[in-house]
């Protein structure tokens, strides 16, 4: 089925100036960008976005990192977009990411791991709504 998923290019990859290279990976995988913006998250924003990880030991470092510089948020659309985006990103830990994936090529560590992608349909809907309103989501048949 055609799905939408929320993707972020994290501060490390924005700082490396590889936004275009990462967008190209999405497009080559058949994913269409239907919304996009650069934003600087506040500590409060990051805390809310990652609230599901509140009890995890990496929560504070993750939130600090995510508001350390601007990020790109985008909505990707396509057949099986959620799984496809996760395939293109590679494993969370870049040391385990398959060759040719975004994280294998651009990530430095499990925290500074270049990209985020929604993990399921329900979280995708929540994460898309966190960044974008109806006017910012475009139809690209």
Q: How far is the CB of 54 from ligand CMP (least distance, A)?
A: 12
Residue 86 assigned to a binding site: yes
- Separation CA 45–CA 21 (nearest Å): 27
Question: Is 140 labeled as ligand-binding?
Answer: no
The yes-or-no answer on residue 53 being catalytic is no
Q: Which of residues 4-33 bind ligand CMP (CB under 6 A)?
A: none
Place of tokens 């058949």: 30
Q: Of residues 18, 41, 62, 72, which one binds ligand CMP by CB under 6 A?
A: 62
Q: At its nearest, how many Å lie between ligand CMP and the CB of residue 16?
A: 16
> In whole angstroms, what is the distance from residue 3 CA to residue 122 CA?
11
Q: Residue 106's Cα: distance from chain center in Å?
A: 13
Q: Identify whether the C-beta of residue 49 lies closer than 8 Å to the C-beta of residue 127.
A: yes
Subset of residues 97 to 136 that bind ligand CMP, contact rule: CB under 6 A: 110-111, 113, 116
């Amino acid at each position: 089925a055609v799905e939408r998923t929320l993707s972020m290019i994290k501060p490390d990859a924005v700082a490396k100036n590889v936004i275009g290279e990462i967008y190209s990976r999405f497009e080559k995988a058949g994913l269409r960008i239907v919304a996009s913006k650069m934003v600087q998250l506040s500590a409060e924003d990051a805390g809310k976005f990652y609230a599901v990880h509140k009890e995890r030991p990496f929560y504070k470092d993750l939130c600090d990192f995510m508001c350390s510089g601007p990020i790109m948020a985008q909505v990707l659309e396509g057949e099986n977009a959620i799984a496809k985006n996760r395939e293109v990103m590679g494993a969370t830990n870049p040391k385990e990411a398959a060759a040719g994936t975004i994280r294998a090529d651009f990530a430095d560590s499990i925290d500074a791991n270049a990209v985020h992608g929604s993990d399921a349909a329900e979280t995708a809907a929540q994460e898309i709504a966190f960044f974008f309103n109806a006017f910012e989501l475009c139809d690209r048949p």
